[in-house]
Amino acid sequence: MDYFIGVDIGTTSTKSEIFDAKGNLVGKSQKVYKIYQDIPDMAEEDPKDIFNAVLATLNQVIQAAAISPKSIKFISFSSAMHSLLLMDKNNEPLSRIYTWADNRSAKSIEDFKDSKEGFDIYKKTGVPIHAMTPWSKLIWLKKTNPALFDATARFVDIKSYLFFKFFGEYSVDYSIASGSGLLNISTLDWDDEILKRLGINRKQLPKLVDTNTIFKNLTNEVKNKLLVSKNTSFVIGAADGPLSNLGLGAIKDGDIAITVGTSGAIRKVVNKPIIDPDSKLFCYYLSRNKWVIGGATNNGGNIFQWLKNNVLSTPNNQFDSKQINRIANTVSPGSNGVLFYPYLSGERAPTWNTNAKGSFIGLNRTHTNAHMARSAMEGTIYNLYSILLMVESLSGSAKKVMAAGGFAKSELWKHIMSDVFETPIIVPDNFESSCLGAVLIGMDAVNIVSNNFYDSGNNKVSTYEPNKENFEVYRRLYPLWVQVGNVLEVEYDKITQIQNEING
């Protein structure tokens, strides 16, 4: 029997999953790596850590599945978007990876926000003006570290770096490139005007390829470390967000895919690029005649980590995720009027404000840590609901909502989503959908029909129905959450300025 492996190179870890030809998940492996956050707004990773994580998870999943390497038909890749890595002329890293969560470029792109030039760039690229993008980081580096900028021979992303390590050439798929702020989505080519404005040339960027492009001929370094046969194909794949839609089966008109991992996103597949007149939604490439529109939030599962580490735990009582869910479940929907704004890492959609701050509103002396825990979960869902409304206004109402990601481990969180959205939420049992999406695009690359995968036992789902009493509560609170949020929005810059002055 043939086997297929999907690799998802995420922000906090790499996961590898192996499937058989009937669509059954037969093995998985995960390796976590460090995010460097030494100063405010910094979020970097070591490219060598990620390279080693990819090799380790692949070898582990192959060994755990106890299959012959010769039976592995292909390995296909998903990765997080918006990463930037600087390489020297000897193909050695000059920097760590600047991830999407690194907001240090925010000040450098302020002049582009709400400007004609900024909107023109958005219309070309489909990427809102924001510090997450490689485009913004290139502007920042050129302004703040021109010596490093000028010494750079190649500007690449994490997948391009890995494919160089694997095959000796820098290549990037259209999907990852469409999140860079450098790709013209009408021509599927690097935009020469944008490159000229940045002072770089296309020779400094990876070669553009489609998401079903096959690679072979591993470098000696990888060949000696990886347990695969010389006949195994490697498919470049796409970005994690678009692949999540594919993995969830949310690719028909009216299908909405939601993922909540460290961050979160709402996406819908369309058959051509769509540009938001308010420039608040992205448009990314998935595959031939398939594009994904939507919005991503910086704040998802990281809210759980923050609650656990910074709010609820004490030296004598260390909270875990199960305890957070347990205490939050003791509180009625609406958290007795406590509202939470989940902007602990600035925000992308719906506000696109890197200076946005998190806050609890409405606390009084009767409220407990349980109210704060549930309110934090509700505020994260309110934020996603705001994005859903934006997507629906541009492309029509949602007919089916499918959700995946680490948040799906929480029964309460899934019920809150269903109640706020007032619609059934469908969650697959295997909720790491980007690995499956990578496998499906790999099957397309090697001309294998993938119908079995959507019919297999691996794709069992659970459906969470909205509770009428609960959504009546949220109908009252959500408009208030929006209204209070608009008041807070105008003060975020001042708060940021004060925090920066205090922190030096």
Specify if 186 maps to a domain: yes
pTM of structure: 0.93
Specify if 71 maps to a domain: yes
Report the alpha-carbon distance of residue 84 to residue 86 in Å, rounded: 7
Specify if 111 maps to a domain: yes
Q: Output the pLDDT for position 278.
A: 95
Residue recorded with tokens 């990819």:
54
Report the alpha-carbon distance of residue 339 to residue 362 in Å, rounded: 6
In 3D space, the residue among 229, 219, 216, 184 whose CA is nearest the CA of residue 58 turns out to be 229
Q: Output the pLDDT for position 453.
A: 67
| Residue 322 DSSP class | H
Specify if 89 maps to a domain: yes
From residue 336, alpha-carbon distances to 67, 242, 418 in Å are: 54, 37, 19
φ/ψ region of 82 (left if φ > 0, alpha if ψ in -120 to 50, else beta) reads left
Specify if 138 maps to a domain: yes
- Residue 68 sits in a domain whose CATH number is 3.30.420.40
Print the domain residue range for 51. Answer: 3-241
Specify if 329 maps to a domain: no
What is the residue-level pLDDT of the chain in tens, covering all 504 positions?
A: 999 999 999 989 999 999 999 899 999 999 999 999 998 889 999 999 999 999 999 999 999 999 999 999 999 999 999 999 999 999 999 999 999 999 999 999 999 998 999 999 999 999 999 999 999 999 999 999 999 999 999 999 999 999 999 999 999 999 999 999 999 999 999 999 999 999 999 999 999 999 999 999 999 999 999 999 999 999 999 999 999 999 999 999 999 999 998 889 999 999 999 999 999 999 999 999 999 999 999 999 999 999 999 999 988 889 999 999 999 999 999 999 999 999 998 999 999 999 999 999 999 999 999 999 999 999 999 999 999 999 999 999 999 999 998 899 999 999 999 999 999 999 988 767 999 999 999 999 999 987 766 554 456 899 999 999 999 999 999 999 999 999 999 999 999 999 989 987
CB 83 within 8 A of CB 100: yes
Report the alpha-carbon distance of residue 230 to residue 243 in Å, rounded: 26
Q: Output the pLDDT for position 457.
A: 47
Number of domains in the chain: 1
If DSSP codes are grouped into helix, strand and coil, which group holds residue 22? coil
Q: What is the 3-state secondary structure (H, E, C) of 405-428?
A: CHHHHCHHHHHHHHHHHCCCEEEE
Q: Output the pLDDT for position 298.
A: 92
From residue 315, alpha-carbon distances to 305, 310, 312, 318 in Å are: 16, 11, 10, 7
Report the alpha-carbon distance of residue 464 to residue 461 in Å, rounded: 10
Specify if 361 maps to a domain: no
Specify if 124 maps to a domain: yes
Q: Residue 392 corresponds to which tokens in the numbers above?
A: 């629906």
Q: Output the pLDDT for position 503.
A: 84
